[in-house]
Amino acid sequence: MPPEPFFDGPGIDRADALRADPAVLAAMAGHPDARQLRWANGFPELTADGRLAWAPVDRPELFLGRIGEAGCFCAIEDADVSAWAAFPLLSILTADDAPLFAAALSLSRWHARHRFCANCGQPTEVTRGGWSRRCPDCSSEHFPRVDPVVIMIAEFDGALLLGRQPQYPPGRYSALAGFVEVGENIEAAVRRELGEEAGIRVRGVTYVASQPWPFPASLMIGCRAEAESDELTIDTNELEDARWFSRAEVAAALAGAVGAPFAAPPRAAIARTLLEHWLTA
Amino acid sequence: MPPEPFFDGPGIDRADALRADPAVLAAMAGHPDARQLRWANGFPELTADGRLAWAPVDRPELFLGRIGEAGCFCAIEDADVSAWAAFPLLSILTADDAPLFAAALSLSRWHARHRFCANCGQPTEVTRGGWSRRCPDCSSEHFPRVDPVVIMIAEFDGALLLGRQPQYPPGRYSALAGFVEVGENIEAAVRRELGEEAGIRVRGVTYVASQPWPFPASLMIGCRAEAESDELTIDTNELEDARWFSRAEVAAALAGAVGAPFAAPPRAAIARTLLEHWLTA
């Protein structure tokens, strides 16, 4: 049983077939059990026990889904999408509520920053319960972005490649990552990013797991690859350092052991899932 | 050795570290071997033997990458992104040139339809050799979209689920598919789409292969899943029909056999790769 990423829960019933019907959405907003996400400091608000905090519906701009016949909504807020600012929340957020936290954060932010038509420059209107915006002027329809990102560990002779970006907390090393570009597939993006950032060529690339990452709207696609050598050429524009770590070193870091050679990524990051997977697979 | 998707070639060196330097890009555009994609009827033009057709550089708006020290460029065209119109080209396009064909088509279309800032409505400017647009007014930077799509086959008792959309050619059945949404991972999107479109619940979801699909800018993520039953509830807004096919029926369709019970998707579609994978795995 491979380790599962943090944002891997089922979420709620998105009921996407109902999004196009304003009368149905209004009925779900008027249901006695309808609810709207509370918002605090640029993020969905959490209770002390790490659940999403809800309030009565007053601005049902974005339809997140339904629980029974009652709608779950969110207002458009200019969300904070700094993962660093979110980590204290992510450390208490329950896994059950994680997918809805991510959906609300990404969707709200997208609306706040996409009020105009990219095709003609005119203001657009929310449609489909918040799952698109339509331009009254040129009729273009715009859908919320989901940006695929590859994040990967490379292995050579029983050791694992991890890197460090300048903005990481002290001691932290993590998996290398980068956006998938037009015209390439997941495997090609993994090979390109490992070549660009660490100067290594890799042979096999395999998929491990994926999760949404709402800072602002990534789909993290976790992979592993076999390096052809351990000689590194580090792109210092991207990375402060990159190093190979042994199985024992990775185990010590994941355990948070005293004297561990690096600080592992937190549980909400899929990089941690990749390390756990590598140790157990 | 699993079958490989059509758009899975290495493409060319994208040299992304050079994109930010206009002087370097100008030097690569001025190189005697520099080239620019020819364009015909809304698509990159192909030679009779299915290679990309090139011309001397006259509008080096988008930097696709380099061959040696020579740049490969593309002008911004309002590309045709109908896969149906493209299939005659895709049937002769060589696999080696497929990734660059896809990159040019997606990138060019994105620029043609994203000339204004979604954040403030002002006209934006091409930056980074065409790999972003920047707003001079509000300083927002916008990057080309890549939209992740899950496409999947479900299996039950040795049979495979395929569906038919109304716009398909006569007899065609293919894998079900849908966009990954904010807040969900690949596996959750597969479960949701199979539930919505076919009314089935699935147990295991595994990744098979991926490829870009430039109509207009999808990343197709091919998966398979194990259905819990073969009872279907078809969403007739999405599908005209969905059916289970046996191994022999799928083999006959892939072989194009006389009397095959359905017409298989063409080689450029990753749905075909999924069928080939299912037969051989």
User: What pLDDT digit, counting tens, does each position of B54-78 carry?
Assistant: 999 999 999 999 999 999 999 999 8
**3-state DSSP percent of chain A in helix, strand and coil, to 5:** 25, 30, 45
Whole domain around residue A189: which residue ranges? Answer: 147-280
Can you give the pLDDT at residue B155? 98
Q: Is residue A141 part of a domain?
A: no
Percentage of chain B exceeding pLDDT 90? 95
Q: Give the C-alpha separation, B206 to B156, whole Å.
A: 15
Is residue A261 over pLDDT 80? yes
CA A199 to each of CA A149, A186, A188, A222: distance values in angstroms, whole numbers, following the listed order = 19, 18, 15, 20
Q: Which residue has the tokens 């990102």?
A: A149
Residue count (chain A)? 281
User: Any alpha helices (H) in chain B, and if so which ranges?
Assistant: 22-30, 83-90, 98-113, 186-198, 247-255, 270-280
B120 and B76, same structural domain?
A: no
B83 and B128, same structural domain?
A: no
Residues 5-24 of A with CB under 8 A from B: 5, 7-8, 10-11, 14, 16-17
The Cα of B256 is separated from the nearest Cα of chain A by a number of Å equal to 28
Are B92 and B6 contacting, i.e. CB atoms less than 8 angstroms apart? no
Provide the number of structural domains found in chain A: 2
CA B221 to chain CA centroid, nearest Å: 10
Binned at pLDDT 50, 70 and 90, residue B2 comes out as low
Neighbours of A124 (CB within 10 A): 25
User: Any alpha helices (H) in A123-204, and if so which ranges?
Assistant: 186-198
A151 and A271, same structural domain?
A: yes
Name the nearest CA neighbour of B102 among B64, B149, B56.
B64
Which 8-state DSSP code applies to residue A123? B
A211 to chain B, any CB pair closer than 8 A? The answer is yes
Structure tokens at B161: 């689920």
- Give the mean pLDDT of B202-218: 96
Are A147 and A189 contacting, i.e. CB atoms less than 8 angstroms apart? no
Instruction: Give the 3-state secondary structure of B102-134.
Output: HHHHHHHHHHHHCCECCCCCCECEEEHHHCEEE
Top residue of B81, B107, B111, B146 to mutate, by most chain A CBs within 10 Å, is: B146
B162 and B83, same structural domain?
A: no
| Residue of A8, A14, A142 lying closest to B192 (CB–CB) | A14
| Residue of A115, A212, A237 lying closest to B185 (CB–CB) | A212
Structure tokens at A8: 């891997």
Residue A131's region, left for phi above 0, alpha for psi from -120 to 50, else beta, is alpha
CATH number of the CATH domain containing B210:
3.90.79.10
| Residue of A107, A121, A183 lying closest to B99 (CB–CB) | A183
Name the nearest CA neighbour of B17 among A237, A152, A233, A176.
A237
Name the nearest CA neighbour of B147 among B182, B190, B120.
B182
Is residue A255 over pLDDT 60? yes
B256 and B137, same structural domain?
A: no
Can you give the pLDDT at residue B255? 97
CA A213 to chain CA centroid, nearest Å: 1
A269 and A162, same structural domain?
A: yes
Is residue B281 over pLDDT 80? no
B120 and B42, same structural domain?
A: no
- Choose the weakest-confidence range: A156-165, B80-89, B156-165, B210-219: B80-89
Q: Is residue A75 part of a domain?
A: yes
Neighbours of A281 (CB within 10 A): 10
Pairing, β B202-213 against β B159-164: unpaired
- Give the mean pLDDT of A188-199: 96
Cβ-defined contact of B99 to A184 (cutoff 8 Å): yes
Percentage of chain A exceeding pLDDT 90? 94
Q: Which residue, of A66, A91, A113, is where some domain finishes?
A: A113
CA A168 to chain CA centroid, nearest Å: 17
The Cα of B89 is separated from the nearest Cα of chain A by a number of Å equal to 16
Q: Which helix (H) or strand (E) holds A254?
A: helix A247-255
Percentage of chain B exceeding pLDDT 70? 99
B274 and B171, same structural domain?
A: yes
Are B153 and B224 contacting, i.e. CB atoms less than 8 angstroms apart? yes
B49 and B62, same structural domain?
A: yes
User: If DSSP codes are grouped into helix, strand and coil, which group holds residue A135?
Assistant: coil
| Residue of B8, B118, B146 lying closest to A181 (CB–CB) | B146
B238 and B181, same structural domain?
A: yes
Q: What is the pLDDT of residues B134-186, one digit of tens each?
A: 999 999 999 999 999 999 999 999 999 999 999 999 999 999 999 999 999 99
Q: Which residue, of B68, B96, B113, is where some domain finishes?
A: B113
Q: What is the pLDDT of residues B73-122, one digit of tens each?
A: 999 998 888 999 999 999 999 999 999 999 999 999 999 999 999 999 99
User: If DSSP codes are grouped into helix, strand and coil, which group holds residue A83?
Assistant: helix
A241 and A160, same structural domain?
A: yes
Can you give the pLDDT at residue B215? 96
The Cα of A230 is separated from the nearest Cα of chain B by a number of Å equal to 22
Q: Which residue, of A68, A88, A113, is where some domain finishes?
A: A113
Cβ-defined contact of B179 to A143 (cutoff 8 Å): yes
Q: For residues B250, B252, B257 and B261, what is the CA-based torsion angle, rounded to 10 degrees?
A: -60
The Cα of B35 is separated from the nearest Cα of chain A by a number of Å equal to 19
Q: Which residues of A touch B100 (CB under 8 A)?
A: 183
* N- to C-terminal Cα separation, chain A: 9
Are B277 and B208 contacting, i.e. CB atoms less than 8 angstroms apart? yes
B120 and B109, same structural domain?
A: no
Is residue A2 over pLDDT 70? no
A88 to chain B, any CB pair closer than 8 A? The answer is no
